Amino acid sequence: MTPGLPPPKFQLTTTPDYRESYANSVQMRVNLWDFFLMFGTINQTAPDAVTIQNFQGIYLSPPQAKALSNVLQQNLKQYEAAFGEIRLEAQTQGEIIQ
């Protein structure tokens, strides 16, 4: 941004294929060039069987992934200040917390 100039005005629009979905599973793969987030839903079909149905994968550049992390941390702090601490009861699958 150039000093002395007003900030740009942003207009948010959605594409025809835009959708909103609920996810209770996020898996991540990382390499040198990007972060890949795979969103899905977990269904426990039996006491010893869990099915994860992935429905969307999103690639982020490392700077965008860090920006997302910062936004999430800021919003989680505000949420916990308003509603109390979020406690994680880790359900582990190996070393992965779903």
Predicted pLDDT of residue 94 = 54
Q: pLDDT tens-digit profile of 37-67?
A: 999 999 998 999 999 999 999 999 999 999 9
Predicted pLDDT of residue 96 = 53
Predicted pLDDT of residue 73 = 97
Q: What is the mean pLDDT of residues 75-97?
A: 81
- Are 60 and 38 spatial neighbours (Cβ–Cβ below 8 Å)? no
- Are 81 and 89 spatial neighbours (Cβ–Cβ below 8 Å)? no
- Residue extents of the structural domains in the chain: 25-86
Q: pLDDT tens-digit profile of 4-41?
A: 889 899 999 999 999 999 999 999 999 999 999 999 99
Alpha-carbon distance of 89 to 75, in angstroms, equals 20
Q: Residue 40's CB: how many other CB atoms inside 10 A?
A: 19
Please check the confidence at residue 98 and state whether its pLDDT lies above 80: no
Predicted pLDDT of residue 18 = 92
